[in-house]
Amino acid sequence: MLSRSAGPRAQAGWVRVDCHLHTVASGDAVLTLEQLAERARQTGLDVIGLFLTERIPYVLPLPEVVGRIRTQGGLVYAPHPFDQVRSSLGGVLPGLCEEGAVDIIEVFNAKIADQALNDRAAELAGVFTLPGGVGSDAHDAPGVGAAYLEMPDFDGPASFLAALAHARVSGEFRPHAPRYPRRPPGSGRAG
């Protein structure tokens, strides 16, 4: 799923992409789709869902998640791979990369205070010649746009991957970004 904003900040033919956002559908965020769209417009972001057409439950085994993403024609994005506070793929990520199961490694996450962890992710992406993604990891409207890529416009997964080679990273650590607890299944509204 991909939507574009009319934000004037990116140069002609380029877009701003925040690859890692959460909405109320995530179960641990307060950001609605309407708030996301408005905040993206305000910050000049173009928002991407990494080409998924169906929601994938977060409780599935990793190989099944990768398989479901591939079945949808989507891209596998490894978020905050070495974060020491939140769950991450750091321990198994090199093996997944060797298997060809990962398309993009997040090399900057705005919620990670220790830049060395982002640098470690960038080094791993370089070892496997994988493009780097960037995300605000926003769970609320003020966090949207804390980190994004400025990159050539694209029209699907293959051209997105190609455009990442020319992307410029923009981001800052956002220590104030609150963390919201997961809601029990079935207790929240869909978004």
Integer Cα distance of 146 and 49 in angstroms: 17
Provide the H-helix boundaries in the chain. 33-43, 62-71, 93-99, 115-127, 157-164
Record the pTM.
0.82
| Per-residue pLDDT, 40 | 80
Return the C-alpha torsion angle 61, 101, 173, 38, nearest 10.
-80
Residues paired with residue 132 on neighbouring β-strands, in sequence order = 105
| Per-residue pLDDT, 107 | 96
| Per-residue pLDDT, 190 | 41
| Per-residue pLDDT, 181 | 60
Domain boundaries of the chain, sorted by first residue: 2-171
| Per-residue pLDDT, 1 | 24
The CATH number of the structural domain formed by 2-171 is: 3.20.20.140
Return the C-alpha torsion angle 169, 173, 178, 183, nearest 10.
40
Residues paired with residue 152 on neighbouring β-strands, in sequence order = 14
- Blockwise average pLDDT, block size 10, the chain, 191 residues: 40 89 80 83 71 83 91 93 84 94 95 94 97 92 90 94 94 71 52 41
